Structure 1
C-alpha cells in the first residue's frame, strides 16, 4: 500500500523544507523513493522555484545533509520525486501528500488451473493461442461474408485480421476515423519491440522510466505484454489483414514495468510525460487491487489536460474493478470472448464503463517469441492428415518436417498415470484437466517421452506457458482439439498403433487473453474518435463510447458496463458533435 501522511495547516513554498526536516529518526533503512504530491498549483510553483530550480540554495544544502536527494520535478502532475535513506514523513500542511514507492505486479502470463478457470493472480493475463482468426470466429454467431463495396471490404480485412478488430467493427470506422491518422497513443507498460515488422513504423517516441539498463535498448520488452498491447492499438495494416484498431495512429511507449513490477512512482512519471507530450489517449493495461493518491491525482491531471485515459478492469474474476481503472477519470474496460460473453477472469462492478474483446487476442509479440505448430496424424482409421494444433510457450522448436513418433495415451498425465511406463521414443497423449499443464509435461519428461500432445476438454484450442522463468524445454508440447484427441484415444484403446508428426517454430505473433488485451481495443477506438474529431473532451469521448455500444447481458451487476464498444457507431457519433 502507499504510505500516505497528511497534516493540517496552510501550505507555502517554505513549508516543504519543514516537511523534509521531519525525517523519522528511526534506524536508517535502504534508500527509498517518494512522491511529494502538491495539490495547489501555486504552492507547487513556490516549491519548485525555491527548492528544485535552485540546487545551490540553503534549502538544497540542508536537504542533502539529511540523506534526501531530489530526483525529478513533475510539474504536469504537481509532484516531485525524492529519494531518502530515512522514512519520510509529512507535517504542517493539508496541501501536500507524501507517498512511498510501491510496486504493482508485472503483467505476466499465468497458468490455467486446468479446470477452465484462470488462477487468482490480479493483473496477470492468461496466454492463449488462436490457430487462426477464422477458427475463433466459428465460436461466434455466423455473419455473412462481406463483399466488394460493403463497409468491411476485402481490401481491409484478410485471413490474419484478428477477430477482436472485426468484433469492434474497426474496419468499418477506418474511412471516417482516417485509420487513426494524427492520433497519438501513450502505452505505459513493459516496453516494446522497436524492430517488430508490425510496429517499427508506428512508434513516435519511447522513454524508459525503470532505469535498469535494459538491453539491447532501454525500452526492450522482455515480458512481451507491452508489444502485444501496442499491436492491438496501432499495428500497421498488412496485406494479409493483420492490423491494429487504429493502424495509422502513432505509439509512444513509456516503459514503467520491469520483470519485477510496476512502480507507482514510474506510473506517475509516465503520466506526466504523456501530459507533457499532449497525447490523445493513455492506455494502462496494469494495476492492482489498490491505487494511490499519486496515481489518482495523475489520472485527474491527464483528464483536465484533455487526455482520455483507458485502463483494464482486472483479471481476478471478482465483482470489483481494480485500480487505476476504478478512478472516475478513467475509462474502465472489461473483457468478453468471441461469443460476446464475459470472460471468466474479467472483473466488474459499478465503475466498469464498457467491454471489449479480451480472449485469444492475436497481436504482436517480441520478434521470435511466439510459437506455431503443426501436427500430422497417420495410421489411424478415422483421423488422418494435419489436424488443428496450438503451441505452448517453452516448447522446444522442432523444424519441419518435425518429429514423427508413436503416441501413447496416459490419461490426465498424473504421476500414477505414468506408473510402470517407459515412453522412450514416444509422444505422450494427455487429456486436459485436474492438474496444470506444466505438471503434465514434467511427468511426461520423467517417463522419457519425446514430446507431449495435450487434447482439450472443451471446444477449440488454448495454450499457455509451461515455464514461469522463460525456460525452453528439450521436447515439443502442443495441444489438439477435444474431438480429435478423444478419437485417437479410442483407437489406441482398440489396439491400433498411431504416429503423429509434430513440428514447431517461432513466430512474431501470438494470442493472449486478459482485460489487458481488452483495454487497447478501446484505446484504439478512442484514437479513431480523436482522429475524426479532436475537439471532444474526455468526458464526451466516454459518453460517445457508452452511447454507441452493443448492449450485452444479463447485466444485473454491471458485468458488461454499458456494453461492447463499436467503433463505427462511435466515430460516426463523434463526427456529429461540435
Structure 2
C-alpha cells in the first residue's frame, strides 16, 4: 500500500468498505466465534488484499514474565504447547501461513506471514488475544558532518560533560563499570577502537541475518544502504578513546534488529528486547520508533514487562515535533523512560540580505548552520545566487552553484536534505523560502551549509530579482545573544493517547552530537560524525542510568527513572516561558544531581486523566511514594497546585511529612474538579517536595472534557481507476463526523475546491478504510494530481489532514 503523505490533506469516498472493528461478517463465516468475542485487531491492514502480510499475534496465555509478576506459574513448555495449538488451527485454515518468530519470555505469541484477507481467521482462533501489524521501525537522524580522527578529542563531545558525567567520573570514580547496556539498533561496529573495550567474546545477536555477528550493514549490501546509527548510539553510551561516552567503562551488547538502510520491523525488535533481557542486560536502549501514538502496541508491551523484570528500558520519543500528540511507539510505553531531544546552549545570529535598492527581505532569519565560522564568513560578502527549485539532487544538474548560494523552495524533501544537496553541488550557502504564505517557523541546527530562511513573499522577491537580471546577494550576519539549552523543534511531544500520560519522561542533548561511526576500513577504523535526533538523546539517558546503577546497584528500575526525573533541570524557551510538560518531560537530565539525591518521589510524573463536562464535581486521586535515602529522619514540605490556581480545581496534599531514616511514606494527592467552573482544555500542575536541602518536582496534567488530540493522525491513498481508490484514515478516538474534500493542485499550492467525496458519521476508533470510484457528482475526474483532505470532527473539534493524490 502506498503511503503518499503525512502532511495536511483532504479526501473523499462513497462507501465504507471496512474498519478495524467492523469485521463481523468476515469473522462469523469461520463458524467459531461471534464478533463480540473476536480478538482485537490493531493497525493499518487491508483485509481485502491477497498480498502476503506479516502480523504479530498475542496469545491469551500469559508470557513467562507476565505470569511471574501476577503470581502464576508458567513454563516454556506450556507456552510452546498452547502456541502450537493456535498455529496448528491457523495453518489448517490457512495452509500457506508461515510462522517466522515465536515469543514466550516477555511477550506471548508469534509472528506470522499470511495473505491479508485471511487475517480474520486469526481473530476467531481460540487463544488469540490481539493481532498487531508488523510495523516498520526506522532510524531518523540528520548527519551534520563526518569528522577526521585527528580533529577529534574527548573535549569535543560537549554533551556528556554538560549533563555532569565528567564530574561523576572525576569526583566519585563512577564510570559505569560492571553495568551492561544492550544497544537494540542497526548493529554496532564492535571493532571500533573507541568501543572494542566494551565488548566481550559474546557480542550479542543479529536478528536480520540470524547469526551471532551484530555488525553494522557495510556498503555494497544489495538489500540497502550501509548503516552507522547503532555505532553512534553505542559511542554516546560507552565510548572510551578519542571520544568518551556518558558511561565509558560500561559493557555493551549489540542486537541488530534494523537492517540495510536502517529499517526493520516489530518481529525483530520484539525478539531483540526478549533476548537482551535473557542475556542479562541491566539497561537497554532503543533509538527507534514509528509514528503511531498508541500505548498498547506489541513493542511497548514487551518494554513494560522488561522494566517489570528489572531492566531499565530507555527509548527515543520520536522526531515528529513540534506539535503535541506526536510521540510514537515504543516511546508511548507506560513504563520505559522516553527521551526528548534538546539543543545545548548556542550563539544566535541575525541575518539581513541585500540584492538591489528598494528591495527588502524583512523575514530573513538564520535557519541553521553546522559551523559558526562558515556562517560568519558570509558577513559583508556578495555572492551570486542560483534558483535550484525544490533543491532535489536532480535540480542541481546542469547548474553551476560552485562557490555560490542556492535559492531553494520549501517542499517534498526535508530542509537538511536540501542543504546537503547544495553542499554536494559546491554551494557555500543556501536560502530556503516558504511554499505557502508566511514565514518558515523552524530552526534546523546542523544544516550542511549556512542557511537563511525567507517567507514565500520574500522568496518571490528574489525570483523577481533573477528575472530582472540581478544574480547577486549580499549578507549581513550579526551576533545577537547566547541561547540556553532549548528543546529541539523536531523532538516529538506527548501526551500518549488513551493513557493521557506525559511523554517524554525526560530530555537530553540530541542536536549535533559527536560520536563514533564505522568506517568499514580496518586500516582506518577511527570513524566519527555529528548526528541529531531523539535517537541521540536516548543513549545519554541510558549511559546516565549505567552510572546510577554502578553507584546504587540495589536501586530498582523505578528508582533509577525517578532519580533522573526528579532532579532534571526545568527548561525555558528563548522567550523565557517554561516549556510544557509534554514538550520537555520533567526536564533535562543532570546525572550528578541524580546520583547524589537524598530523596526520591515515585512516580516521576502523573496524569489525572480526563474530567468530562457533563459530570458533576469529580474527585481524582493519586499516591506518590517518598523515599528518604538518608540515615536520618527528615521533615519534608509538600505543595501541590495547578498552574495559575484555576477556579474549579482544588488540590489537597499532606503539607508536612516526617519520614524515618532509609524509610518511605505514601503521599496522598487529591484533586477536586468542578467542570462547571472550568474551560475545556489541558491543565498542567506540579507536586513539589522540599527537604534534605533539595527541591523535587513531579509534573502533573489533567484534561477537562475531551482531550485536544488530533482527531485524525494518518491519512493514506492508494489504487487506480480500474480497481477504484482506497482512502485510509487513522482516528485515535474515532469521530462523530468524517468528510473528504477534493481540491485542484497547481503544482505548488492548493487550488480551487472541486467537491465533496462523502461525509460519514459515527466513525470508529483506529483505522478505517473507504472506497472511492474517482468521481465527483457522478462525473469522473481527469487523470492528474489533486489535493485531498480529510476532516474529522468530535466534541466540537475538527482536525484536517491532507495529501497529494495521483489519479491514474
Q: Could you say whether these structures have the same fold, taking a TM-score greater than 0.5 normalized by the shorter chain as the test?
A: yes
Q: Residue 229 of structure 1 corresponds to which residue in structure 2?
A: 233
Contact 1:68/1:82, CA 8 A, preserved across alignment: no
Is the Cα contact below 8 Å between 2:214 and 2:256 reproduced in 1? Answer: no
Q: How does 1:259-270 map to 2 (within 5 A)?
A: 259=261, 261-270=263-272
Partner of 1:250: 251
1:331 aligns with 2:360: no
How many aligned residue pairs are there? 426
Counting strand residues as a fraction of each chain, which structure ranks higher?
Answer: 2
Question: Post-superposition shift, 1:200?
Answer: 2.2
Residues 460, 481 of structure 1: 8 Å contact kept: no
**How far apart in 1 are the matches of 2:265 and 2:551?**
35
TM-score when normalising by structure 1: 0.61
Cα-to-partner distance string for 1:178-234 (whole Å, 9 max, x where unaligned): 2100111112112222222212222342212223899x9754362221111111111
Match 2:594 to one of 557, 570, 576: 570
Structure 1 position 532, deviation (Å): 1.1
1:208 aligns with 2:202: no
Matched, 1:184 2:183: no
Structure 2: distance between partners of 1:260 and 1:202: 23
Q: Indicate the larger mover: 248-257 or 427-436.
A: 427-436
Aligned pairs for 1:112-511 (under 5 A) are: 124-129=140-145, 160-175=155-170, 176=172, 178-204=174-200, 205-211=203-209, 219-220=216-217, 222-238=226-242, 242-258=243-259, 259=261, 261-290=263-292, 291=294, 292-317=296-321, 318-320=323-325, 321-339=327-345, 388-389=373-374, 409-411=383-385, 413-414=387-388, 427-430=402-405, 434=409, 451-454=426-429, 462-464=446-448, 479=449, 508-511=527-530
| Counterpart Cα distance in 2 of 1:295 and 1:527 | 23
Contact conserved, 2:143 with 2:530, CA < 8 A, in 1?
A: yes
**Distance apart, 1:28 and its partner CA:** 5.3
Moved more, 44-53 or 282-291: 44-53
CA-CA distance at 1:565 after TM superposition: 0.7
Write the distance in 2 (CA, Å) between the matches of 1:312 and 1:456.
31
C-alpha distance in 2, partners of 1:58/1:523? Answer: 40
The whole-number CA distance in structure 2 between the counterparts of 1:85 and 1:103 is 17
Instruction: Give the CA deviation at 1:77.
Output: 1.0
2:32 equivalent to 1:32: no
**Matching residue of 2:617:** none
Q: 1:569 to 1:462 in 2, by over 3 A?
A: same
- What CA distance in whole angstroms lies between the structure 2 residues aligned with 1:228 and 1:58? 43
**Which one is further off, 86-95 or 43-52?**
43-52
Q: What is the distance in 2 between the residues matched to 1:316 and 1:173?
A: 33
CA positional deviation for 1:332 = 1.7
Q: Alignment RMSD, CA only? A: 5.0
Unaligned runs of 5+ in 1: 8-14, 108-123, 136-156, 342-358, 362-372, 374-386, 391-406, 465-478, 483-487, 492-504
Corresponding residue SS for 1:230: helix
Q: Provide the residue aligned with 2:536 in structure 1.
A: 517
* Aligned partner (choices 40, 63, 80) of residue 52 of structure 1: 80
**Deviation at 1:293?**
3.0
Q: Which sections of structure 2, spanning at least 5 residues, go unmatched?
A: 2-18, 25-32, 40-45, 68-72, 219-225, 348-367, 376-380, 433-441, 453-471, 476-518, 600-628, 631-661, 663-808
The 8 Å contact of residues 205 and 255 in structure 2, kept in 1 or not, is answered as yes
Deviations 1:100-151 (A, max 9, x none): 42213x21xxxxxxxxxxxxxxxx223324989xx9xxxxxxxxxxxxxxxx
Q: Structure with the greater relative contact order (CA < 8 A, sep ≥ 6): 1 or 2? A: 1
Change (3 A) 1:568 1:415: closer
Q: Per the alignment, do residues 219 and 35 of structure 1 end up closer, same or farther by CA in structure 2, a change over 3 Å counting?
A: farther
**Partner Cα separation in structure 2 for residue 416 and residue 210 of structure 1:** 36
2 CA distance for matches of 1:459 and 1:100?
A: 35
Q: How much has 1:58 moved relative to structure 2?
A: 8.5
- The 2-side partners of 1:529 and 1:53 are apart by 41
Other-structure match for 1:75: 104
Partner of 1:282, secondary structure, is: strand
Distance (whole Å) between structure 1 residues aligned to residue 127 and residue 276 of structure 2: 27
- The 2-side partners of 1:272 and 1:360 are apart by 41
* Partner Cα separation in structure 2 for residue 75 and residue 540 of structure 1: 27
- Contact 1:412 1:440 survives alignment (8 Å): no
Report the CA distance shift for 1:312/1:177 in structure 2 as closer, same or farther (over 3 A). farther
